[in-house]
Amino acid sequence: AQSVTQPDIHITVSEGASLELRCNYSYGATPYLFWYVQSPGQGLQLLLKYFSGDTLVQGIKGFEAEFKRSQSSFNLRKPSVHWSDAAEYFCAVALSLNQAGTALIFGKGTTLSVSS
């Protein structure tokens, strides 16, 4: 069955430290990959996406993610975390964006806390 796994439920990093959030997927083919962020009481905001091409993609707020086909992973990184990055982060995949109404499948999320 198709699945998205975010192994870390909760991560705490110090402000200014680097961050890596893990995401693994289970599909037969390469899916379309996304990272969304949800701040407390807010909706989901798209951070970045991977469709094809360069496996290192840049997003908003200084985030980047790297697609590794051999590991079925799409890990999110940021070199220096700011206190405002504290939020819930969701990895999501879609099998196809050409078929009408293809759903996004979300991981369970990783809660990021930032300590001073």
Partner 1 sequence: EPEVTQTPSHQVTQMGQEVILRCVPISNHLYFYWYRQILGQKVEFLVSFYNNEISEKSEIFDDQFSVERPDGSNFTLKIRSTKLEDSAMYFCASSGGGSAFFGQGTRLTVV
- Residues in touch with partner 1 (CB under 8 A): 34, 36, 42-46, 49, 90, 97-109
Q: In whole angstroms, how close is the CB of 99 to partner 1 at the nearest point?
A: 8
Of residues 46 and 56, the one with the C-beta less far from partner 1: 46
CA distance 102 to 94: 7
Q: In whole angstroms, how close is the CB of 83 to partner 1 at the nearest point?
A: 22
Of residues 9 and 29, the one with the C-beta less far from partner 1: 9
Supply φ then ψ for residue 73, to 5 degrees: -130, 160
CA distance 4 to 19: 20
Of residues 19 and 105, the one with the C-beta less far from partner 1: 105
Torsion of CA 36, 38, 42, 43, to 10 degrees: 30
